[in-house]
Structure 1
Amino acid sequence: MDVTHVNPFIESFMKVMPQLGFAEVRKGGLGIKGQDLTCSGIIILVGIVGALKGNVVYRIDTEHAKKIASTMMMGMPVEQLDDMARSALSELSNMLTATAATEFAGLGISIDISTPTLLSGDNISVKMSSKQVLSVELLANDTSVEVLISFEN
């Protein structure tokens, strides 16, 4: 996978999260995963079409998802992931991916994104677009978000 296709997602996280109230934003580890993933917690899938085709998945541990939703809702306590919290998390993925699309446009790469699909639970099976999936851990106030990026060859 071309690193120029990964950096827009990292840059979008670094731009968007501070605007939502996260003071410390940083990149964690990188890794490669296979096409078939099994995830638990909150999974938000966004399709990508245009000059690049594929998908991006945002994976967030349930407790971290509650913290993110709470911060996005001006510190309102989030005891469970109700409709309001789920809506906030879906909107976050929309904001992150749309900002990445703007970053891609700056590189001369035109893409469009789908409406986010949010799933939650344990042992969720996800089949990504390509055989190799890049995993990037991004942290906001030490709350981890794993971004799984997959583009068709």
Structure 2
Amino acid sequence: MKKILQIVLTAVVIGFAVTACSTQNAATGVQNVGRGKFTGTWVVNNVSYEGLVENAVSSAFDEAKPSAFVGSTWKLTNSGNGIYTLTSGVSQTIFWSINNNGPSGQMFQFKKIFEGDKAKNVQQGYQLMVSSNDGNSMVLKTPVAIGNSTGYVVYSFNKQ
């Protein structure tokens, strides 16, 4: 009897450990996407707004109006290096990563890297919620606080 109880308790403990360590669904209900689906060349084909009026956000990523990112090209390598180029010709080197433990689920995050910078020394960065990514199309959302609620700037990408 004592041995059976010991086996049952061991099985329960292992079950809890496996459940606690397994990948959780994001708060949005979207499964975490593997890093490989983010790599490649992406083009922003649309910028829309959820819970915001279009001109409520004057600057995205301290660079330009969100609408200026339509048509921009984002090149993301597996090493984390990347660059985005706006249609105006402005380019910015970035270092990107994925945070699977964000408060709102999986987050795409990046830091701007300027000449002479090392990514590990750059403190400021940007986080976007991963709404979807099937490897060919991707939707990322930037949360924007509005009083007691949150609106979103929504960036839709297609892979080139």
Structure richer in helix, relative to its length? 1
Larger radius of gyration: 2
TM normalised by structure 2 equals 0.26
TM-score by length of 1: 0.27
Between 1 and 2, higher relative CO (CA 8 Å, sep ≥ 6) is seen in: 1
